[in-house]
């Protein structure tokens, strides 16, 4: 309500807030479990529910939920990081967010409201995530994620809704030009990293 009052209308909602409470399942507290559900499923649900009627009244809109590559199942044989655990509950809720977004896309397509998911292809170093990422891990520039989110927010819902896109894969497959966050400089063409999940597929798979 305050956002609409301040801006006059609501066209785009990006659900990006959260904090990763990582712990192995046998060691995770009830509070951490509930916070994970709250941050990554309950809050996006509440904000989507509140935004949809306002976007419907405007004749359309765009919702982008920020996902995670961890929503995909661990590869086999299980790598060391999967055996060490810690992200199982977080990843499970992100997988639920994918399905929620796909279902909501179907519910809102007739209202011209697109609902998509954009996930980092690997990891993005932020203050909240830095403690979970090894110092030598090759993270990606957040500008690729931002460019992919923006690209989800300009076509009518009938032309682009229900997608699960990855920050390096989407620009790579669509030829999307990516610039630094300040818009001043072009970045190299997106190159999906070899260490990303093998289930991240090219755009041909989404035709």
Q: Where are the domains of the chain?
A: 2-206
**pLDDT at residue number 134:** 65
Cβ within 8 Å of residue 149, ≥6 positions away: 14, 64, 66, 118
The string of pLDDT tens digits covering residues 168-183 is 999 999 999 999 999 9
Mark whether 144 is an active-site residue.
no
Sheet holding 61-66, edge to edge: 12-15, 61-66, 113-119, 164-166
pTM of the model: 0.92
**pLDDT at residue number 1:** 75
Question: Which one is catalytic: 22, 90, 144, 166?
Answer: 90
Q: Which fold has domain 2-206?
A: Rossmann fold (3.40.50)
- Ranges of the chain with pLDDT below 50: 207
């Amino acid at each position: 309500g305050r956002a609409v009052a301040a801006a006059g209308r609501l066209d785009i909602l990006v659900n990006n807030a959260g904090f990763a409470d990582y712990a192995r399942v046998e060691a995770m507290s009830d509070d951490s479990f509930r916070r994970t559900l709250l941050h990554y499923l309950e809050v996006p649900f509440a904000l989507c529910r509140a935004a949809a009627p306002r976007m419907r009244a405007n004749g359309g809109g765009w919702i982008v939920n920020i996902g995670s590559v961890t929503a995909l199942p661990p590869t086999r044989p299980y790598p060391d990081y999967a055996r060490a655990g810690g992200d199982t509950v977080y990843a499970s809720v992100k997988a639920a967010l994918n399905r929620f977004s796909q279902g909501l896309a179907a519910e809102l397509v007739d209202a011209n409201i697109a609902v998509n998911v954009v996930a980092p292809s690997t990891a993005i170093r932020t203050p909240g995530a830095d403690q979970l990422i090894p110092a030598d891990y090759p993270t990606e520039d957040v500008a690729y994620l931002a460019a992919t989110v923006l690209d989800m927010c300009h076509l009518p819902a009938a032309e682009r809704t229900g997608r699960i896109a990855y920050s390096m894969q989407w620009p790579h497959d669509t030829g999307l030009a990516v610039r630094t966050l300040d818009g001043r400089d072009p970045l190299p063409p997106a190159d999906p990293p070899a260490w990303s999940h093998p289930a991240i597929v090219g755009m041909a798979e989404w035709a």
